[in-house]
Chain A
Amino acid sequence: MSFVTAAALAISLLIALPFAAHLLRRGRRSERPFPPARLVPAHDAVARQKSRLEDRGLLALRALIIVTLALLGAVPLVRCDRPLLARSQGASVALALVLDDSASMNVKAGKVTRFEQSVEDARALVGQLRPGDRMALVLAGRPARVQVGMTSSRAILLDSLAKLSASDRGTDLEGALGLAESLLAGLPQRDKRIALASDLAAPFAPPRSPFWLLRPEHAVAKSDCGLLFAQARRGGVTVELACNAEAAAAGRKLSARATQGGPARTTLPLPTRRGRFELSLPTDDVGGLTVVTLDGSDENATNDTLALSTLTRGRPIWTLTHPTDGQSVLGGPPLLEQALLALDPSVELHPLAVLPTDARELQTASLLLLDDPPALGAEQRLALAHWLEQGGALLALLGERAVTHQLGQGLAPLLEGAAHYEATDVADANSANSAKVAPSSFAWLGPEALRLADLRPRHRWSFELGLRQAGEQRGTYLDGTPLYYERIVGKGWLAVVGLPAAPSESELALTPGFLALLQRAIEASRSRSPDPVITAGSAWTFGANPPSEAIGPAGRVALEPGPHGVRAVAARVGPYRFQRASGSEARFASLDAAEVLEAPRPVPPEARATQSGPAPRLALTSPLIGLLLLLLGLERAYVLARGPLLARFWAFMPWVRSRRTHAI
């Protein structure tokens, strides 16, 4: 509230004027000489009458008018606490509301959290919908998702808002804005807008549609230290945490306790630093420890307490790439690794120089990615086949190095039929050997498959597929030659792409379809050997032996069917327990470090409007003006009705004050 606003509202203090007038008038009742005053009996009620407020109704009316005047004066200066859905010439509105339900929205904004405030704002917007308006609700917690599609039903929207709850998810603002734009596309309303309820603590590009940040004050950094993951190990507790400011860590301590609120069993001062780091709390006995706390306070207390886990975080993805062919022209890690990090920055990569020849060496691998591998020896083929049978997931991008020239080498179990590596006609796109990809054959991959049609590989693998492989997915060139196929091998999953990632061979690694294929491989591996520790917002997928029940930190967790099996999304940080046929299984969801470290992005000027659309301030103040005039009229009528009209007239004359007048 600005000084001017406060000054305008301070006018309401003039409510004391009627009281002062009463006191002054009371003081004017001076003594009058009256010789036989001794014969006049005193009356007890007079003292009370003197102190009593005369004409309470008039006093209340005047006070009300003063308050109304103060509010009227302050209205143009006060930002409306509730979002106002203004309309251009009264036209219908199509509104996509992007509601950020990530962990960073759990910061307190007054008495409630930012998330709760945003939900209230959303309710206020729903309340302003009129017939003909449409509204959709998109959640920006990772993964971005459509909570309610475009609808004109207030009941559906309010019901959906009532079911929303805070989460510890990461933020996918860009994805949410993309969904919002896609929801707005094709609607008949001319006035299409995106309302954004977020702290902007994630990268995003302003959408093409007009957008409006409901509360710019949310996009302010709060000093925060948060616990990401805590693991009990032999000899101590390892804690991962993140601080976005040194001040947030200053003077604080890390403690491990048996119960929340109980005495600390082991304590460690927090180093005054910012960023993500790991600390070890030494203790000989970790038994009985259940919780880790950050003593002291910062501006976000929701991530200062974390349950202790006994699970090990992460299962690495094993990669085998050519040391030079897999690199981009700008250097850096191989393209395959860059793509994996783009999908999940916290992924643990395990690069291989050669393929293991013993299946036991692959036990810890959840996913094996081979980029242009050489032809496999007999031991390697057996090890891979055994590992796949046991539930491994493998994606192989075949290239020139897979061409075998040695006896005993082969591509089994990657390719079981006849296969050969051939050159393509890049220059003539209409040639029969031009190797153009048929996008329709990759329709199962989603919209990312569209760019695959532009691929012009110099060479390609041409292989035959057996008819027995039912239920597999395929992708082919226009001439029918297979480019991609996947199949189930025992408990495992195998996928083969007839092109390498090397940009010298094709642009495959630079297309969105490549990321989609990698994501598919990751999900396939997780469905077979899910990582017991994931970041909040991710999901566990159970391909086989799905759980019958899942309990998380916030209670029962919904089990949803997915393409690779049953999915359970970890919305909150903490321990999860899944009841499966083989017994109870523990999992854990950690906090995404970005929710602590990411600073809010600057608010675009066009998103700073105090309300959506044109600003009809007059519409807001006109009722107040009318109310004020009505009150003034009532007050005058009241005064005139209280006494003779002539007496009121004389009361108005400032020079006629000899008689006590009741009210002016």
Chain B
Amino acid sequence: MSAVARANFDWNALGSLRLRASALADGLYVGGHRSVRRGVGVEFGGHRNYVPGDDLRWLDRHALARHGRALIREFETETDRMLRLVIDATGSMGFRSAQAPVCKLDYALTLAGALARLALNSGDPISLDWFAGENARWLPAMSGRESFERLLGVLGEARAAGDASFDSARLERSLATVGRYARRGAIIVMFSDLVDLEPRVFERIAALGSRGRTVLVVEVLDPEERHFPFSGAVRLRTVEGQHVVETDADLVRERYLAALDAQADNLARKLEERGGRLIRCTTSDSPVGVLRSLVTAALGERL
């Protein structure tokens, strides 16, 4: 998250927002919030690579002795209410028009950070996944006060880079990884401009909503992308790929906006079929309002 995003975010405006467990979630309740422990008696959920900071209690010493690799054993606890943040850091997310206060990635990072803080305050674990990006480091599920600072450190280093239009397979692999590790009852929040994504990627995103997971997609657009304020003859070039189009802005504005809405409607329909939601915003919108919409969407669907 950039310093600008930090400075501009009004945390007080969030009020008493809390991410609460779904009524349908199976698990134990400890106090007013769900437990974050991966305790005894839970179902084995698989292995993953060790990253610094992991609890050594879950280190699979047998695997270390046998294969020489540090692996962490993970268990699915039915009390888990994990927040998995998936951020699109492809090149198009770095776009910022003259009228926009920040670029799309910075806006998405702000929202992600704020959402993570809400989750951590509620005692829910968070994790972080990326689509492309530069210095975009993956973070495993974690909780605790220090997790927020760790998250901010990772968010602050990320830069928009990469071309989704040329490497949709990589994107699909990332989504598959998210789907594999997201447990039942987890909330998956994806921040993306949905630009240059193929239709089958939308299917993959919507498919994350299976197994009791909630998928929320935040479409972050620049105001220029949302309103197409050009006039006369224009020559436009994509950020990802080298697609160039010459057109008359006045004549094609309606058709562009219709195509943009159709794309969003397509994804929204797919998400809603699996209990998910699509939230559309622009970088000129108030992050607080978007965050309210996010929390409302997450809770409204499951309560």
Q: Interface readout for B228-254 with A: 1 if CB under 8 Å, 0 if not? A: 100011111111110111111001100
A43 on the B face (CB < 8 A): yes
B256 on the A face (CB < 8 A): yes
Are B193 and A35 in touch, CB under 8 angstroms?
A: yes
Are B195 and A40 in touch, CB under 8 angstroms?
A: no
A353 on the B face (CB < 8 A): no
Q: Which residue of B lies closest to A50 (CB)?
A: B233
Q: Within the complex, which residue of B95, B243, B252, B255 is in contact with A38, where a contact is CB–CB below 8 Å? A: B243
A106 shortest CB reach to chain B, Å: 63
Q: Which residue of A lies closest to B237 (CB)?
A: A31
A34 on the B face (CB < 8 A): yes
| Of listed A30, A32, A37, A38, residue having the most chain B CB within 10 A | A37
Are A30 and B247 in touch, CB under 8 angstroms?
A: no
Q: Within the complex, which residue of B225, B228, B235 is in contact with A35, where a contact is CB–CB below 8 Å? A: B225
A662 shortest CB reach to chain B, Å: 10
B290 shortest CB reach to chain A, Å: 19
**Main secondary structure on chain B at its contact with chain A?**
mixed
Q: Within the complex, which residue of B241, B243, B246, B259 is in contact with A43, where a contact is CB–CB below 8 Å? A: B246
Given contacts A43-B251, A43-B252, contact A37 B233 (CB under 8 A): no
A205 on the B face (CB < 8 A): no
A66 shortest CB reach to chain B, Å: 28
Are A42 and B234 in touch, CB under 8 angstroms?
A: no
Q: Which residue of B lies closest to A45 (CB)?
A: B248
B92 on the A face (CB < 8 A): yes
Q: Which of A15-56 contact B (CB under 8 A)?
A: 29-43, 45-47, 49-50
Are B248 and A37 in touch, CB under 8 angstroms?
A: no
Contact residues in A for B239 (Cβ distance below 8 Å): 33-35
Contact residues in B for A31 (Cβ distance below 8 Å): 235-237, 244
Are A29 and B235 in touch, CB under 8 angstroms?
A: yes
- Complex: how many Å from CA A35 to CA B165? 11
B263 on the A face (CB < 8 A): yes
B203 shortest CB reach to chain A, Å: 19
Chain B interface bracket (under 10, 10 to 19, 20 to 34, 35 or more): 20 to 34
- Complex: how many Å from CA A42 to CA B234? 10
- Complex: how many Å from CA A71 to CA B239? 53
Given contacts A32-B237, A43-B251, A49-B233, contact A37 B243 (CB under 8 A): yes
Contact residues in B for A33 (Cβ distance below 8 Å): 95, 236-239
B196 on the A face (CB < 8 A): yes
Contact residues in A for B256 (Cβ distance below 8 Å): 36, 39-41
Are B245 and A40 in touch, CB under 8 angstroms?
A: yes
B60 on the A face (CB < 8 A): no
B160 shortest CB reach to chain A, Å: 10
B260 on the A face (CB < 8 A): yes
- Complex: how many Å from CA A660 to CA B235? 14
Contact residues in B for A40 (Cβ distance below 8 Å): 228, 236, 245, 247, 252, 256
Are B246 and A37 in touch, CB under 8 angstroms?
A: no
B224 on the A face (CB < 8 A): yes
- Complex: how many Å from CA A36 to CA B224? 10
Are A35 and B195 in touch, CB under 8 angstroms?
A: yes
- Complex: how many Å from CA A31 to CA B251? 18
Contact residues in B for A47 (Cβ distance below 8 Å): 246
Contact residues in A for B241 (Cβ distance below 8 Å): 38
Q: Interface readout for B263-284 with A: 1 if CB under 8 Å, 0 if not? A: 1000000000000000000000
A-B contact count (CB 8 A): 89
A362 shortest CB reach to chain B, Å: 103
Contact residues in A for B251 (Cβ distance below 8 Å): 43, 45
Chain A residues bordering chain B, tally (CB within 8 A): 21
Given contacts A39-B259, A40-B256, contact A34 B236 (CB under 8 A): yes
Contact residues in B for A41 (Cβ distance below 8 Å): 245, 247, 252, 255-256, 259
Contact residues in B for A32 (Cβ distance below 8 Å): 234-237
- Complex: how many Å from CA A370 to CA B219? 132
- Complex: how many Å from CA A660 to CA B228? 18
Q: Which residue of B lies closest to A47 (CB)?
A: B246
Contact residues in B for A45 (Cβ distance below 8 Å): 248, 251
Q: Within the complex, which residue of A29, A36, A49 is in contact with B260, where a contact is CB–CB below 8 Å? A: A36
Contact residues in B for A36 (Cβ distance below 8 Å): 92, 193, 195, 225, 238, 256, 260
Q: Which residue of B lies closest to A34 (CB)?
A: B236
- Complex: how many Å from CA A31 to CA B193? 21
Q: Which residue of A lies closest to B241 (CB)?
A: A38
- Complex: how many Å from CA A40 to CA B237? 10
Are A39 and B248 in touch, CB under 8 angstroms?
A: no
B229 shortest CB reach to chain A, Å: 11
Contact residues in B for A42 (Cβ distance below 8 Å): 245-247
- Complex: how many Å from CA A104 to CA B42? 128
Q: Interface readout for A594-632 with B: 1 if CB under 8 Å, 0 if not? A: 000000000000000000000000000000000000000
- Complex: how many Å from CA A43 to CA B253? 11
- Complex: how many Å from CA A47 to CA B245? 11
A45 shortest CB reach to chain B, Å: 6
- Complex: how many Å from CA A100 to CA B108? 98
Q: Which residue of A lies closest to B248 (CB)?
A: A43
- Complex: how many Å from CA A221 to CA B1? 95
Are A34 and B196 in touch, CB under 8 angstroms?
A: no
Given contacts A37-B243, A40-B256, A41-B252, contact A46 B233 (CB under 8 A): yes
A47 shortest CB reach to chain B, Å: 7
Contact residues in A for B234 (Cβ distance below 8 Å): 29, 32
- Complex: how many Å from CA A47 to CA B247? 8
Contact residues in B for A43 (Cβ distance below 8 Å): 246-248, 251-252
Contact residues in B for A50 (Cβ distance below 8 Å): 233, 246
Q: Interface readout for A87-131 with B: 1 if CB under 8 Å, 0 if not? A: 000000000000000000000000000000000000000000000
Are B225 and A34 in touch, CB under 8 angstroms?
A: yes
Q: Which residue of A lies closest to B240 (CB)?
A: A35
- Complex: how many Å from CA A39 to CA B254? 11
Q: Which residue of A lies closest to B225 (CB)?
A: A36
Given contacts A41-B252, A49-B248, contact A35 B243 (CB under 8 A): no
Are A37 and B252 in touch, CB under 8 angstroms?
A: no
Are A29 and B237 in touch, CB under 8 angstroms?
A: no
Q: Which of B104-132 contact A (CB under 8 A)?
A: none
| Of listed A32, A39, A49, residue having the most chain B CB within 10 A | A39
- Complex: how many Å from CA A37 to CA B240? 10
Between-chain CB contacts (< 8 Å), 9 pairs: A32-B235, A33-B236, A34-B95, A34-B224, A35-B196, A35-B240, A36-B195, A39-B259, A42-B245
**Considering the complex of A and B, which 8 residue pairs feature the smallest CB-CB distances, nearest first?**
A35-B92, A34-B236, A43-B247, A37-B236, A39-B259, A37-B238, A31-B237, A43-B248
Which residues in B have some Cβ–Cβ distance to A below 8 Å? 92, 95, 193, 195-196, 222, 224-225, 228, 232-241, 243-248, 251-252, 255-256, 259-260, 263
9 additional A-B pairs beyond A33-B95, A34-B236, A660-B232, beta carbons within 8 Å, are: A33-B236, A33-B239, A34-B225, A34-B239, A36-B238, A36-B256, A37-B243, A40-B236, A43-B251
